């Protein structure tokens, strides 16, 4: 019992250490390698809207959005409007969702991803920098480099694929507000999904 309580306390301490950046403040800078081994930096996309998607293809909550094509369709729609979409995998080697660098390109193709890039964060540094706790978890950064949304993809916190239709997609709504020159009506929500599989 004491051991369990100590572990719970430790988890709480770790969670507070990985404090998420504040909406309305500059998004933390980072660089990660993509499927080809090329370095991609957030700074490369200054002047554009950037969506960050924390992904783990083994997670049932992620599967809900990929098996129904919901995530791929949103990726295609937004990248077609010159939005940059970066899928980030913070799963550690040996943990659910981890993909060997040599297998990333084939995995992304198999999943039908329309993201601008799939980035490898196997040491979890960027995930912890952003306070990412779940997959999926979403962030939007505006052309000035300010974080304007963080949280869930939508308002149906379940792995049930039938709930995709009719859900309020927070990412789509936030970008629509921002592109119309309005303040984002829902800038922050509670993310849902599987825990990020850090080391």
How much is the pTM? 0.90
Report the C-alpha dihedral over residues 146, 152, 155, 158, rounded to 10 degrees: 170
Looking at residue 20, its pLDDT comes to: 74
CA dihedral (156, 174, 26, 82) positive or negative: positive
Report pLDDT for 18: 60
Give the chain's domains with CATH numbers: 18-195 (3.40.30.10)
Q: What does the block give as tokens for 141?
A: 């950064």
Confidence bin at 8 (pLDDT 50/70/90) = very low
Is the confidence at residue 21, as pLDDT, over 70? yes
Distance CA 92, CA 69 (A): 26
Query: Above 50 in pLDDT, residue 13?
Result: no
Task: Find the range with the poorest average confidence among 10-14, 81-85, 134-138, 177-181.
Answer: 10-14
For residues 138 and 53, the answer to whether their CB atoms sit within 8 Å is yes
Q: How far apart are CA 85 and CA 64, in angstroms?
A: 19
């Amino acid at each position: 019992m004491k051991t369990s309580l100590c572990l719970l306390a430790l988890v709480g301490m770790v969670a507070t250490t990985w404090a998420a950046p504040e909406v309305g403040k500059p998004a933390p800078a980072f660089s990660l390698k993509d499927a080809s081994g090329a370095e991609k930096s957030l700074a490369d996309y200054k002047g554009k809207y950037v969506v960050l998607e924390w992904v783990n293809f083994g997670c049932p909550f992620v599967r809900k959005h990929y098996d129904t094509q919901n995530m791929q369709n949103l990726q295609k729609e937004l990248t077609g409007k010159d939005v940059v979409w970066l899928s980030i995998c913070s799963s550690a080697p040996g943990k659910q969702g981890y993909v060997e660098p040599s297998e990333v390109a084939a995995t992304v193709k198999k999943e039908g991803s329309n993201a601008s890039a799939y980035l490898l964060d196997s040491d979890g540094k960027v995930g912890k920098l952003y306070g990412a706790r779940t997959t999926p978890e979403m962030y939007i950064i505006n052309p000035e480099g300010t974080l304007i949304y963080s949280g869930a993809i939508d308002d149906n916190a379940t792995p049930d694929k039938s709930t995709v239709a009719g859900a309020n997609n927070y990412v789509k709504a936030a970008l629509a507000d921002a592109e119309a020159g309005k303040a984002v009506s829902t800038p922050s929500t509670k993310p849902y999904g599987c825990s990020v599989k850090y080391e």
